[in-house]
Amino acid sequence: MNALAMRQNTKGESTRAQILEAAVQMASESGFEALTIGSLAEKTGLSKSGLFAHFGSKLDLQIATLDEAARRFTESVFLPALKVPRGLKRLQALFEGWVDWPGRASLKGCPLNSASEEYNHQPGPMRDAVMERQRLLERELAKAAHMAVDAGELAPGTDTSQIAFEMVGIVLSYYRCELLIGHDPARQRALTAFQRLVDSARPQSSASLAAVRR
């Protein structure tokens, strides 16, 4: 590849990244169905033809935006948590990172949650893509919980898939309640619910000690 082609390729990648940043922001504000070539052209100031050069259809744009949101979620939540020791500390880091990431990313809401709500009853490629990412998330949460079992911080025989399921439920409840009662009270309730979930799965002696300390 010659120097001119390399510069053009780099510029194209930079433009695509800027487009996707705007698209993720739009999806967090208005949902994925409101995300179209036309609406994105208006927000970014780019021409429709320019956007079509990067995304050939509305569906291509939506899936690329979902992928970008998932990438940013992984970068903001999972990668920092991997630096925390395995066990409950890592599980808590995942939970708190997940609760806080829309705010840290300056998003109006969680675009992954928006996609789940929008396409829950709409069979098709977007629903399939959303479900695939949801299954991956729950699998990784269950894996983190399993590490806490291996570390002796959760009781042997703990249903780690159930832990992951309930973590998802707490976060989804937090997103709903945040709009009703505000960020700080909703966050505190979410953290309290997570702590109760963890305490219920501790080995008996550890659970008793945790209760005494409270």
Question: Per residue in 160-199, pLDDT tens?
Answer: 999 999 999 999 999 889 888 988 999 999 999 999 999 9
CATH for 9 = 1.10.357.10
Q: How many domains does the chain fold into? A: 1
Averaged pLDDT for residues 23-43:
86
Give the pLDDT band (50/70/90) at residue 8: very low
Cα 208 to Cα 214: distance, rounded to the nearest angstrom: 10
Cα 152 to Cα 160: distance, rounded to the nearest angstrom: 13
| pLDDT over 80 (residue 12) | no
Those residues whose C-beta lies under 8 Å from the C-beta of residue 161, and which sit 6 or more positions away, are 138, 142
| pLDDT over 60 (residue 211) | no
- What is the residue range of 176's domain? 3-213
| pLDDT over 80 (residue 61) | yes
Dihedral angle, C-alpha 189, 190, 193, 197, nearest 10 ° = -170
What's the number of CA atoms in the CB half-sphere (13 Å) around residue 130? 20
Contact call for residues 62 and 34 (beta carbons, < 8 A) = no
Quick one: tokens of 11? 């510029």
H or E, element range at 51: helix 48-52
| pLDDT over 80 (residue 81) | yes
Residues 145-175: b if buried by 16+ CB within 10 A, e if exposed: bbbbbeeebbeeebebeebbebbbebbeebb
Q: How far is CA 148 from CA 81, 90, 92, 210, in A?
A: 14, 9, 11, 16
User: Measuring CA to CA, which residue among 38, 15, 40 is closest to residue 26?
Assistant: 40
What integer best gives the mean pLDDT of the chain?
A: 87
User: Measuring CA to CA, which residue among 166, 160, 146, 153 is closest to residue 207?
Assistant: 153
Backbone Cα Rg of the chain: 20
Contact call for residues 19 and 54 (beta carbons, < 8 A) = yes
